């Protein structure tokens, strides 16, 4: 996935939603030890930033955020408690120890809106190697399409239908809210299963922000590469008409977030 978001890295960094504090509180409540978090596929660092913020509130210190895209990391929020590290798409255990952490030293692995792009068998071997046993936690979440207003949503849904053929097949796992993704971990303490558990995140946007969000998707970029402009003038005009219908230029986009969470056990 190293080149997946290169062309739209800046747009991705500024337009994508952050994640709700309730999500991180829940993950932390299921993580017995809070010394080190590994944020995988950190991209522009939204999750790493919030993981770090939560850790600071709890007097904890360290997050390592990794990504295969150097371009994405250029837009990551720089914080003293987060170490950002470029990693190859596949790593040997020796490379993992050097770039991420030694065996059995990570308390929680977080993956925000990225797990569906991974070679899961390889990645899960890395996770099971690096997590503390038996209670080290893996938490992976995705967010689905935003809801704004009925008028905007109607235009968006027509646009999304035209966009669908340009999505990678991995996107189907997001459409399914990670219900069908392979997730070979044990339920965390107090849970009957590994989810998905639903949260909601909100982002205040104007129309330009919303269109930037649409242009930041990999499917939109794929369509452009094929010579297809999905945000045609008539589509943009449709969004404009819907956007001003209620007289408000700023709107709240609500993104549903779906969490899969488990512990490594003795694997």
Tell me the mean pLDDT per 10 residues along the chain, length 267. Answer: 44 60 88 89 56 48 79 67 81 89 94 90 94 95 94 97 92 93 96 95 92 90 95 97 93 95 91
Q: Which residues does 134 contact at the CB level (< 8 Å), separation at least 6?
A: 263, 264, 265, 266
Are the C-beta atoms of 68 and 88 separated by less than 8 Å?
yes
The pairing of beta strand 62-67 with beta strand 36-40: parallel
**Is residue 22 one of the residues assigned to a domain?**
yes
Q: What angle do CA 102, 36, 141 make, to 5 degrees?
A: 105
**Is residue 222 one of the residues assigned to a domain?**
no
- The pLDDT value recorded for residue 178 is 96
- The pLDDT value recorded for residue 153 is 97
As given in the structure block, the two tokens for residue 235 are 């589509």
Q: Which domain holds residue 27?
A: 9-146+172-202+256-263
**Is residue 162 one of the residues assigned to a domain?**
no
200: part of which helix (H) or strand (E)? strand 197-205
Domain CATH number, residue 140: 3.40.50.150
**Is residue 74 one of the residues assigned to a domain?**
yes
As given in the structure block, the two tokens for residue 244 are 């001003």
**Is residue 154 one of the residues assigned to a domain?**
no
If one counts every other C-beta atom within 10 angstroms of the C-beta of residue 80, the result is 8
Number of domains in the chain: 1
**Is residue 241 one of the residues assigned to a domain?**
no
Task: Tell me the whole-structure pTM to 2 decimals.
Answer: 0.85
**Is residue 126 one of the residues assigned to a domain?**
yes
**Is residue 234 one of the residues assigned to a domain?**
no
- What single DSSP character describes residue 77? P
| Phi and psi, residue 140, nearest 5° | -125, 135
């Amino acid at each position: 996935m190293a080149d997946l978001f290169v062309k739209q890295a800046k747009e991705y960094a500024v337009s994508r939603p952050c994640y709700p504090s309730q999500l991180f509180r829940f993950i932390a409540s299921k993580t017995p030890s809070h010394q080190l978090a590994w944020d995988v596929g950190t991209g522009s660092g939204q999750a790493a930033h919030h993981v770090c913020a939560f850790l600071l509130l709890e007097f904890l210190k360290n997050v390592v955020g990794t990504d295969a895209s150097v371009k994405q990391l250029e837009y990551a929020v720089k914080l003293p408690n987060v170490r950002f590290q470029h990693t190859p798409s596949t790593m040997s255990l020796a490379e993992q120890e050097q770039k991420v952490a030694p065996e059995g030293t990570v308390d929680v692995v977080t993956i925000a809106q990225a797990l569906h792009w991974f070679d899961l068998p390889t990645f899960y071997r890395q996770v099971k190697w690096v997590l503390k046993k038996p209670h080290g936690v893996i938490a992976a979440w995705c967010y689905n399409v935003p809801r704004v207003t009925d008028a905007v949503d109607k235009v968006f849904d027509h646009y999304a239908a035209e966009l669908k053929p340009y999505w990678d097949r991995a996107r189907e796992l997001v459409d399914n809210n990670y219900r069908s993704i392979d997730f070979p971990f044990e339920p965390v303490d107090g849970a009957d299963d590994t989810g998905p558990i639903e949260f909601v995140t909100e982002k205040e946007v104007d129309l330009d922000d919303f269109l930037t969000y649409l242009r930041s998707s990999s499917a939109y970029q794929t369509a452009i590469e094929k010579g297809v402009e999905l945000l045609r003038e008539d589509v943009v005009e449709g969004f404009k008409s819907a956007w001003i219908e209620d007289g408000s230029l700023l709107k709240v986009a609500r993104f549903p977030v779906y969490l899969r969470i488990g512990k490594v056990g003795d694997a």
